[in-house]
């Protein structure tokens, strides 16, 4: 019996996420916090994602598209990232530190 390595999402830092989001092609970004917090503030271009909208999004996104998911601290985003992997998405990332870390990383200038 051979062991086939199952695809997995990657946990990345907020600064790595910023690079992916601003890269080519830009990553698709999902905020999985509750709607009230999403409405208070979210990354530019981030779509709100909840379990009831997951399948609708998956029908629209290419399987190879880079997908970056963030939440409050980096825990719930892992659950959503695994769901994308389970549906055979190959470029899925969960942001360690969540929304606050992303905001801080956006404010930090990138060294050239």
CB 30 within 8 A of CB 80: yes
Q: Is 71 a catalytic residue?
A: yes
In 3D space, the residue among 64, 69, 70 whose CA is nearest the CA of residue 89 turns out to be 64
Task: Look at residues 60, 87, 68 and name the one whose alpha carbon lies nearest to residue 12.
Answer: 68
CA dist., res. 99 & res. 80, Å (int): 15
Among 68, 71, 92, 101, the one annotated catalytic = 71
Catalytic residue positions, numbered: 71
């Amino acid at each position: 019996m051979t062991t086939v390595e199952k695809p997995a999402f990657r946990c990345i830092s907020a600064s790595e996420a910023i690079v992916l989001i601003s890269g080519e092609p830009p990553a698709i970004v999902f905020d999985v916090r509750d709607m009230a917090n999403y409405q208070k503030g979210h990354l530019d271009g981030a779509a709100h994602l909840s379990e009831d909208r997951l399948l609708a999004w998956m029908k629209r996104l290419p399987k190879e598209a880079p997908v970056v998911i963030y939440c409050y601290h980096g825990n719930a985003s892992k659950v959503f990232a695994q769901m994308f992997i389970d549906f055979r998405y190959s470029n899925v990332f969960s942001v360690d530190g969540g929304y606050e870390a992303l905001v801080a990383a956006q404010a930090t200038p990138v060294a050239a």
